[in-house]
Amino acid sequence: MNDSMVYLVVWAHKQPAVLSKNQNIYRRGKVNQHCDVGQQCQVWKLAWESYELDHFQLTLSRIMDPFKLKRALNGVLPVLKPHGITSAQLLNKLKEKLAEELSGTITTQDIKIGHGGTLDTTATGVLTVGVGDGCSKLKCFLHGEKSYLARCQLGIATDTYNETGRIIMEKEFGHVTKDILQESLHQFQGRIKQTPPIFSALKRKGRRYSDLARDGVDFDIGPRVVHCYELKLLDFEPPNFTMTIVSGPGFYVRSLIHDLGQAVGSCAHLSGLQRTRQGPFTLHHSLHEDEWRLENVINNIARFRKKIDKYYKSYESNKRYDRW
């Protein structure tokens, strides 16, 4: 096969048709994509396996010129954040992997990338990533619903409200029963006032709270109105317990567990956190770190395009309201 040609195999109602240079692909009238490749084109060996495009299945064996490649890298996809790195470090790592595959075609500076809501360094789970023009739609994830699985420990409080911090209090927890813990959850549901942790990514006069705290700067943090839609206690084996949370924007699970410990007459901290859902995306949808490759990123951007458009339209039409 000549490297200046692009061959695409399209199955329409199980009838194969081979399209060669300068022919078009019909995509429900929305896209009229030419398959021509210029002399300066660098051909990429990508495999888009079993990608459903309305009534078509499209397998691309060789694609794209730089313009088309850059256009394909516009959208939103969920990735699985691993333990031990910040959300910003995840973006840099993903960007480096894409840049390595795109070497000689698209520069690192050409790849715009962002995320739809920070996860703590020790937290894992769904992180929505915007690429190119997809970054403009990340606000609906920042302000949208999120679900978490939280592992917690009674009897110990830390300055960060999680397992990474310095112990600042130890208190008896033997009197805390499952019923007491369950009953105390009610006061944290609905529209509530919550004080964020001092060690957080929130900013004051351009500096993060966590940086100010490490520098010994004394400052007050006021409570903020946040939304907690659902709290469920899954198991209780003192001093440990596990619960699920469904919350709105600006909600800190660390603060919830810290405040819950005080509410039951003891203290507590968050010992592990996993975001199980962000907007329409779950763990099942998310790309694992070993899957952070160019072809998978392009495939998932295309795969979730309709889901994202629908979610974004719903956000735009309902952002003036909340569930309370």
State yes or no: is 65 an active-site residue.
Answer: no
H and E: helices and strands count for the chain: 8, 19
- H helices present in the chain, as ranges: 66-72, 87-101, 139-142, 178-184, 209-214, 253-263, 294-303, 305-318
CB–CB of 89/139 below 8 Å?
A: no
Reduced to 3 states (helix: H, G, I; strand: E, B; else coil), residue 180 is helix
From 110, 120, 179, 322, active-site residue: 120
Reduced to 3 states (helix: H, G, I; strand: E, B; else coil), residue 193 is strand
Q: Is 94 exposed, middle or buried (0-12, 13-18, 19+ CB in 10 A)?
A: buried
Question: How far is the C-alpha of 288 from the C-alpha of 292, rounded, in Å?
Answer: 7
Catalytic center residues: 120
